[in-house]
Structure 1
Amino acid sequence: MNLNIKDTFNTELPADPVHENTRRQVMQACFSFVAPKSTSKPSIIHTSNELAKDLGLTEDDLKSEEFKNIFSGNSVLPGTNPYAMCYGGHQFGNWAGQLGDGRAINLFEVTHNNKKWALQLKGAGETPYSRTADGLAVLRSSIREYLCSEAMYHLRVPTTRALSLALTGDQVLRDVLYNGNPEYEKGAVVCRVAPTFLRFGNFEIFSARQDKKNLKTLSDYTIKHFFPHIKEGTKEAYLQFFREVTNNTLDMIIHWQRVGFVHGVMNTDNMSILGLTIDYGPYGWLEGYEEGWTPNTTDRQYKRYRYGNQINIGLWNLYQLANALFPLIEDTKALEDILMEYRNNYSTKYLSMMKSKIGLFKSDENDSELLGRLEDNLQLTETDMTIFFRNISRIPKDSPTNEDFLDPVMDAFYAGEEVKGDILEKWKLWFTDYKNRLQKESISDRQRAEKMNDVNPKYVLRNYMAQLAIDDADKGGYSLLDEFFQLLKNPYQEQTQAEKWFAKRPEWARHKVGCSMLSCSS
């Protein structure tokens, strides 16, 4: 492999002076050097050739023994120094202290075609930050991360990427439901790729420890490499940096809401400083449109990270980042002004996004009320989000609201027989007002449908689809894994051969483990 290695994180930032791989509090350091754990019988079961090309890898590279060994963790590329990052974080609203890369090991950074990439292995063994865990990952969670990160990229949602998925040949003990019944599962490693894996928590840990020197060092490094248009080292620079992180975070969450993605564990250690979707753990996709839904079993009681609350949690997390950066800025009002911009921009951006989903592009003072009623109606009876928004583009603006007015979206209702009486009347009133509103748009039905279909995906990684791929892979079959990988490269396109995946969640998947709610166990 002829990669253009250009390490910066582990050459420009302070390292942990202790080189033993033991669990401990790591002070005054951004990372600890640590090597991946060797595995018994590694094998690469899938790769993203498209991403490989962006990194400067060839198809022959992907088939090589060297690639298999490096990206399963069995060997280290000569001249590189793998490491695990030190960070803290707020988990479910509470400060958790030092967390760090407990099961992720950063291999190296690559520059190709004027783009910078960091590559890390998830599930490659313990680090000083593993606490009581083993640092490993299982095939189940690795497939979910591998498929979803690439699917999100093609949905145009800011995200980390996935280069490869490897089996280790080892068995890993996991308690999927946290109910005291652990079982052995196949071990796996995913190679994750992003410009950087820095999180809010990297800054929080130094601030919490009153280590202003390293807080400044890390902030200046981040601005220099990832916000190069900002001149680092001044109060104004740190404020501009915070503003851009705030804007990027908001844009990311608006995209989540657009496609029906629920992260499930929006702790500050899972918030990318670049506004990328990071750490695909107990995530899920809305099947029925439900603002109160969370995929995380740990979050079942309080639903802190539910779909309808993600935007508020984004703001809460940004408050924690503002507190962390405060020692460099010391201007409460300036930081609060930026946070207030988030609130104001959210209202504007969310309205614009939702309008685009139903084909409204001109300004109208009643649009917010129309959309609010739509969101209420979608929860009157279980309604598939993806199908509804995709199919609403098929409704002509001049069609009468007669007895079959719901036909284009009828497939979205899980219990069509419930759409009667008061529910039917509410939908009839809404569609009457919606079609009247469409009359104010100057584009044709065909043009409107094209625009709507470009923001409303036809195919997403439904929870049961991921589980089918997992069940198949557990038996040694990877055809579904590849089928979904290829399908999700074109989520907005009609794919006649894949029509069966444009369908509501099957009833068998309603309460099946992995298809409804998930734990953080991986």
Structure 2
Amino acid sequence: MKLHTQNNFTAELPADTSEINVPRQVEGACFSFVEPKKPTNPSLIHASVEVANSLGLSEEDILSEDFLNTFSGNTVYPETKPYALAYAGHQFGNWAGQLGDGRAINLTEVVHNDKLSTLQLKGAGPTPYSRTADGFAVLRSSIREHLCAEAMHYLGVPTTRSLSLMLSGDEVLRDILYNGNPAYEKGAIVCRVAPSFIRFGNFELFSSRKDHATLQLLTDYTIKHHFPEIKSEGVDKYLDFFQTVAQTTLEMIVHWQRVGFVHGVMNTDNMSIHGITIDYGPYGWLEDYDPNWTPNTTDRQYKRYRFGNQPDIALWNLYQLANALYPLINDAKPLETILNAFGADYQKEYLNMMRNKLGLKISKDEDAILIESLTELLQLIETDMTIFFRNLSSVKKEDSTEIALDTIKEAFYNEKDLNESILGKWYTWLEHYSDRINEESLNDVERKEQMNAINPKYVLRNYMAQLCIDAADKGDYSLLNELFELLKKPYDEQPDSQKWFAKRPDWARDKVGCSMLSCSS
């Protein structure tokens, strides 16, 4: 197994002067050197061939001892020195101070086909940033991360990738619901892949400590290696950097809203500087369309990270990044200009995205009303978001409102809830929708094809992930393999997999792991 490695991050940025691996405050450093803890009996459960190929590895490499040892943390790859990042962050709106990679260890950077990737093990043991945690991860959360990262990629959502999923052979103690009932679970390790794992919180750490020299070093490094298109100098360079991060973050959120994804923990330390989805914890996809839904038990009371609030939280987090970068700019006005534009820019992109979901190519002023009335209508009774938008593509221009309703009614969880008042509102909306698609030049076949290209048929519903976890706990990985292959083609019909194009079953409504999840991993 041959990787073309480089170590720019550790070569160009200041390191922790101590290599003692105990939880502590780390000053004046962007990272700490730390080696993964050797697992007792590592074994490979699953690997992504596509991700391996992107790193210059073959299927043969995946089956090698070197692969097993390197990506389980059993051995350190030659001429590399693993490390954990130092960062801070706001958690649930509150300043948390130093956080850092508590259960993640960066192995190295890899270059293949002129593309730079950073490889990181999640769950490979403690670091100086582990605080009161043990640095390990369990099979349950590791399956969810491995499947979801790849599912998001194939959905076209910017994301970290997942190379491999391994069992450590060790048991890890976890209190899954934080209710005083800890139990031992199988330990697991995921190898995550991204351009880098630099977050908003990396900049917040040094700004909060008034360590402006390290803040500038980190920002210059990030621009040099990850934003080479920025050619400006001085203050303009930092403003262009912030503008780029704001734009890519906005685009990521639009994609989340498009597919009904809820991150669940949008803390600033979970926001990638690359505008990619990072840190798959208590995430979920909307089953019934409910803007107030959050999958996170920790967020149950205030619902800060609910589906409908994700754009506002993204902006709030960008304000914190702007505050962190301010010492390099020393002028609030240009930062405020970028931040003030975010809301209007988001609304414009959201409107365009929703037009596309509805199969509308011609832009009309009344579309905003059509879309707003639809999102209100979807909430009147439980309506499955994924099934609704997918089936809407089958509505034809000449269909009556009754036929159109029959086409989408599969999305309703309980048709008996369709009282006369709600039925009347649906008929009214479908009549307006019919008028709009009849103004379009696309025929029914063309519109269906375009709508199905952005409205997925298959998403990783929480109950699907839980079925996979339950089977894997018993050593059966067949469902893991099945779902992985299914989710590689989420927009295809895949008639043999029709059973997964279904509403959440009743048994999953309140089951742990299917409706709400904790940050426990």
Same fold by TM-score greater than 0.5: yes
TM superposition shift of 1:44? 0.5
TM superposition shift of 1:233? 5.0
> Partners in 2 of 1:121 and 1:357 — Cα distance?
36
Q: Would the aligned equivalents of 1:84 and 1:106 in 2 still touch at CA under 8 Å?
A: yes
Deviations 1:385-413 (A, max 9, x none): 000000000000121223x4311111100
SS at match of 2:32: strand
> Partners in 2 of 1:389 and 1:256 — Cα distance?
15
TM superposition shift of 1:252? 0.2
Percent identity for Structure 1 against Structure 2: 64
> Partners in 2 of 1:229 and 1:375 — Cα distance?
38
Alignment of 1:430-445 (within 5 A): 430-445=429-444
TM superposition shift of 1:7? 1.6
> Partners in 2 of 1:103 and 1:335 — Cα distance?
33
- 1:427 and 2:415 are equivalent in the alignment: no
SS at match of 1:405: helix
- 1:229 and 2:229 are equivalent in the alignment: yes
Deviations 1:246-267 (A, max 9, x none): 0000000000000000000000
**What is the identity, as a one-letter code, of the residue corresponding to 2:434?**
K
SS at match of 2:156: coil
> Partners in 2 of 1:147 and 1:497 — Cα distance?
20
**What is the identity, as a one-letter code, of the residue corresponding to 2:392?**
I
SS at match of 1:451: helix
Gapped regions of structure 2 (runs ≥ 5): none
**What is the identity, as a one-letter code, of the residue corresponding to 2:451?**
M
Deviations 1:442-482 (A, max 9, x none): 11111111110011000000100000000000000000000
- 1:411 and 2:443 are equivalent in the alignment: no
> Partners in 1 of 2:232 and 2:420 — Cα distance?
62
> Partners in 1 of 2:409 and 2:74 — Cα distance?
52
TM superposition shift of 1:231? 3.0
> Partners in 2 of 1:359 and 1:197 — Cα distance?
36
> Partners in 1 of 2:354 and 2:230 — Cα distance?
32
Which residue is equivalent to 1:318? 318
SS at match of 1:89: strand
> Partners in 1 of 2:469 and 2:399 — Cα distance?
44
**What is the identity, as a one-letter code, of the residue corresponding to 1:507?**
D
Which residue is equivalent to 1:389? 389
Deviations 1:424-450 (A, max 9, x none): 000000000110111211111111111
> Partners in 1 of 2:181 and 2:233 — Cα distance?
52
**What is the identity, as a one-letter code, of the residue corresponding to 2:179?**
N
TM superposition shift of 1:154? 0.3
- 1:500 and 2:499 are equivalent in the alignment: yes
> Partners in 2 of 1:264 and 1:8 — Cα distance?
32
Which residue is equivalent to 2:515? 516
Deviations 1:185-236 (A, max 9, x none): 0000000000111000000000000000000000000000111021365100
Deviations 1:27-56 (A, max 9, x none): 000000000001111000100001100100
> Partners in 2 of 1:308 and 1:103 — Cα distance?
30
> Partners in 1 of 2:137 and 2:104 — Cα distance?
10
**What is the identity, as a one-letter code, of the residue corresponding to 2:518?**
S
Q: Which segment is superposed worse, 356-365 or 262-271?
A: 356-365
Q: Would the aligned equivalents of 1:220 and 1:232 in 2 still touch at CA under 8 Å?
A: no
Which residue is equivalent to 1:255? 255
Which residue is equivalent to 1:360? 360
> Partners in 2 of 1:232 and 1:43 — Cα distance?
48
SS at match of 1:173: strand
Deviations 1:321-341 (A, max 9, x none): 000000001111100000112
> Partners in 1 of 2:363 and 2:392 — Cα distance?
20
> Partners in 2 of 1:434 and 1:409 — Cα distance?
13
Which residue is equivalent to 1:77? 77
Which residue is equivalent to 2:18? 18
Which residue is equivalent to 1:332? 332
Q: Which segment is superposed worse, 425-434 or 439-448?
A: 439-448
Which residue is equivalent to 2:101? 101
Which residue is equivalent to 2:9? 9
> Partners in 2 of 1:461 and 1:437 — Cα distance?
32
> Partners in 1 of 2:139 and 2:407 — Cα distance?
39
SS at match of 1:394: coil
- 1:123 and 2:130 are equivalent in the alignment: no
Alignment of 1:127-166 (within 5 A): 127-166=127-166
Q: Would the aligned equivalents of 1:262 and 1:283 in 2 still touch at CA under 8 Å?
A: yes
> Partners in 2 of 1:410 and 1:370 — Cα distance?
19
Deviations 1:117-164 (A, max 9, x none): 000000000000000000000000000000000000000000000000
> Partners in 1 of 2:8 and 2:153 — Cα distance?
25
> Partners in 2 of 1:278 and 1:209 — Cα distance?
25
> Partners in 2 of 1:102 and 1:210 — Cα distance?
23
> Partners in 2 of 1:249 and 1:118 — Cα distance?
20
Which residue is equivalent to 1:65? 65
Which residue is equivalent to 2:40? 40
**What is the identity, as a one-letter code, of the residue corresponding to 1:426?**
K
- 1:197 and 2:179 are equivalent in the alignment: no
- 1:272 and 2:272 are equivalent in the alignment: yes
> Partners in 1 of 2:184 and 2:504 — Cα distance?
28
SS at match of 1:353: helix
TM superposition shift of 1:363? 1.2
Q: Would the aligned equivalents of 1:220 and 1:233 in 2 still touch at CA under 8 Å?
A: no
> Partners in 2 of 1:406 and 1:412 — Cα distance?
10
How many residue pairs match? The answer is 521
**What is the identity, as a one-letter code, of the residue corresponding to 2:383?**
T
SS at match of 2:152: helix
TM-score normalized by structure 2?
Answer: 0.99
Which residue is equivalent to 2:172? 172
> Partners in 2 of 1:230 and 1:331 — Cα distance?
20
> Partners in 2 of 1:208 and 1:129 — Cα distance?
17
**What is the identity, as a one-letter code, of the residue corresponding to 1:178?**
Y
**What is the identity, as a one-letter code, of the residue corresponding to 1:493?**
D
> Partners in 2 of 1:322 and 1:219 — Cα distance?
12
Q: Which segment is superposed worse, 67-76 or 129-138?
A: 67-76
> Partners in 2 of 1:271 and 1:71 — Cα distance?
24
Deviations 1:352-405 (A, max 9, x none): 001110111111110000100000000000000000000000000121223x43
> Partners in 1 of 2:290 and 2:361 — Cα distance?
25
Which residue is equivalent to 1:111? 111
> Partners in 2 of 1:440 and 1:337 — Cα distance?
38
Which residue is equivalent to 2:51? 51
Which residue is equivalent to 2:28? 28
Q: Would the aligned equivalents of 1:91 and 1:268 in 2 still touch at CA under 8 Å?
A: yes
Q: Would the aligned equivalents of 1:223 and 1:232 in 2 still touch at CA under 8 Å?
A: no
> Partners in 1 of 2:87 and 2:149 — Cα distance?
22
**What is the identity, as a one-letter code, of the residue corresponding to 1:410?**
K
SS at match of 1:301: coil
Which residue is equivalent to 1:345? 345
Which residue is equivalent to 2:212? 212
Which residue is equivalent to 1:460? 459
Which residue is equivalent to 1:487? 486
SS at match of 2:41: coil
TM superposition shift of 1:417? 1.3
